[in-house]
Amino acid sequence: MNRRTVVKLMVGGAGVSVLAACGVAPQAPAAPTPPPAAAAPTPAPTSAAAAAAKPAAAATTVVVTPTTPPAATTPQPRTGGTLRQAYVPGDPVSLDPMLKVQNDVVWIGIFERLTTYDANLKPQPMLAESWEMASDAKSFKVNLRKGVQFHSGREMTSDDVKYSLQRAANPKVAAAQYTGMASWFSDVETPDKYTAIFHSEQPRPTIFDLLEFLNICDKDTLEGPDAKNTANGTGPFKFVEWVQGDHLTLTRNANYWQTGKPYLDGIQIPILRDQQAMVTQLEAGSLDIARPPTLTDFNRLKTDSNYQALQNPLTGAHYEAGFNLTIPPWDNKTLRQAMTYAVDKQRFVDTILGGIGAPESLPWLPASPAYEPSKMNFYNFDLDKAKSLLDQSGVQNLEFDFMANPVNNETNGFAQIYQSDLAKIGVKMNIQQYDGATWIDQVNNRKFNGIYFASGTYFNLSPSTAFTNGKAFNPDLNNSAYKSDQYVQLITTGATETDPAKLKMAYSQLNDLILDEDFVFLVTVSPPLMLAKANVQGIQWTAHESPWYSDVWLAQ
């Protein structure tokens, strides 16, 4: 059975999404329609880093005006109707807006952020009407929209922004990767109820990475007696009920700050735990959206005009394999390079993933400041070169273990292809199957002799954010035990540099280091998948994986 599972293994405190690998969508869906902005705007920054990187003597004010869509070709949205969306795995663990893993319901329309990335990964206003970044990038002023209400009826103010940031920075909340980013800021100044000023001791040009995930929340609700079982946001849909094991219900927010939206009356979310059963219900007409389908069902229905087979082009998990450098001979760089040239990525995409995907040696999207086309496929499949490097390494009679990922059957397909090709150059690879807890122990504590296989996320964000948040590449505590002062310095530079030219240079050097040291190799990317009925219109994608439903409507 070919299953595409969305279980997330927590490796060393960082979420490792385990997904079937899929490539970037052949066509991107329509970009989200940003909310109205103030008059007399200035152009949006070209990236999260560039928003703060313009050399200037004073602060840079950014007010973004959305592009007006074509008038004649867009059908008129129809109001009314209930969207029936299933998401596997079933029950959320909590309705806490700071939690991302297995908490999808709070991200599709209940809570909102200050800014949101668009289809080009440029920050757009959401609850923030405009912002100003100081020339040294150590302070960030947010001008909030006026009159935005929580679902409880209370107006959102700068105090809520300050509370949300401080709560995310609290390690007891367990906001995972976002805790570190939220801790960047020593203080949030609130001179009035519509102004919040973030202060940091270091330049923080990558603040928009944090803001993409920082849901603005209500203190009274989150410190109340039923915090985990209710949700009070500012988004287009209000929480109604959560019947554990059965369903969740959201209803239209009649007081939503974007006049006329949402178009739907509500969203019904049946709790399902089996992807194939979910797709069966979609085909039977009892669901409008199935997330995520099995890879087999996705490929089967993508040519059926009754359905839309959609991929999120803004984010995804990247298949990656890491070596354990604490056990010889994996401290031998030439050997690691030999093993990487022996990976037939295209065959994996074609035979295991049904043709969805593309080989990669670096994980960056074209919008990333680290994107360099000439380096994206540095390690091509080449057994002759692999054998030559193996001989140069001096390692003979190599035998090692491959730590297959326990929650992804596509991993086994990759392992079998890799095992067969390595045998052709005289290398014996043993495929090891472990339960999730044992796998995590082996990888986290570096007990394995050879290679582990997993997938990492956040590569659509600033490269320094991605490498710091992902356990495979973390400069201080990665699964491979790779250490390098230069590596730490380059990541630090990427997180704090405000000069675009210097930033580009640092990321180019970082790419070279990753390719040369090769303590982790990339295989392909797997964006989130969705099957929707053909009449579901207006689906928007976000850079934090979940879709956004404020513009969704149901055609007859």
Each residue's pLDDT tens digit, 393-421: 999 999 999 999 887 778 899 999 999 99
Is 353 domain-assigned?
yes
The pLDDT of residue 6 is above 90: no
Give the pLDDT confidence score for residue 62 in this predicted structure.
46
- Residue burial 277-308, b: 16+ Cβ < 10 Å; e: rest: ebbebbbeeebbbbbbbbbbbbbbbbeeeebb
Tell me which residue has tokens 């801790």. 183
Is 494 domain-assigned?
yes
Instruction: Give the C-alpha separation, 182 to 207, whole Å.
Output: 9
Give the model confidence (pLDDT) of 34-86 as tens digits.
443 333 333 333 333 334 333 333 444 444 444 444 444 668 999 999 999 99
Is 325 domain-assigned?
yes
CATH label of the domain that carries residue 424 = 3.10.105.10
| Beta bridge mates, 310 | 530
Mean pLDDT across 229-240: 96
Give the model confidence (pLDDT) of 146-188 as tens digits.
999 999 999 999 999 999 999 999 988 877 778 889 999 999 9
Mean pLDDT across 12-26: 32
Spatial neighbors of 4 by CB under 8 A, at least 6 apart, are 19, 20, 275, 292, 293, 294, 295, 298, 408, 410, 529
Cβ atoms of residues 271 and 246 within 8 Å: yes
Give the model confidence (pLDDT) of 112-151 as tens digits.
999 999 988 899 999 999 999 999 999 999 999 999 999 9
The pLDDT of residue 298 is above 50: yes
Is 111 domain-assigned?
no
Higher pLDDT, 316 or 237: 237
Instruction: Give the C-alpha separation, 28 to 315, whole Å.
Output: 12
Tell me which residue has tokens 């005289």. 426
Is 514 domain-assigned?
yes
Distances (CA, A) of 255 to 262, 335, 529: 10, 61, 31
Give the pLDDT confidence score for residue 342 in this predicted structure.
98
Is 201 domain-assigned?
no
Give the pLDDT confidence score for residue 73 in this predicted structure.
62
The pLDDT of residue 316 is above 90: no
Is 511 domain-assigned?
yes
Dihedral (Cα; 305, 306, 309, 310), 10-degree rounding: 100
Is 198 domain-assigned?
no
Question: Which domain, by its residues, includes 425?
Answer: 317-526
Give the pLDDT confidence score for residue 426 in this predicted structure.
97
Give the pLDDT confidence score for residue 17 in this predicted structure.
33
Count of other CB atoms within 10 angstroms of residue 373:
9
The pLDDT of residue 382 is above 70: yes
pTM: 0.83
Averaged pLDDT of the chain = 87
* φ/ψ (deg, to 5) at 469: -80, -30
Give the pLDDT confidence score for residue 357 in this predicted structure.
83
Mean pLDDT across 322-334: 98
Give the pLDDT confidence score for residue 406 in this predicted structure.
85
Number of independent structural domains in the chain: 1
Instruction: Give the C-alpha separation, 98 to 103, whole Å.
Output: 9
Spatial neighbors of 490 by CB under 8 A, at least 6 apart, are 506, 507, 509, 510, 513
* φ/ψ (deg, to 5) at 529: -110, 155
Give the pLDDT confidence score for residue 226 in this predicted structure.
86
Give the pLDDT confidence score for residue 120 in this predicted structure.
87
Q: Looking at 175-189, 216-230, 429-443, which range is the least confident one?
A: 175-189
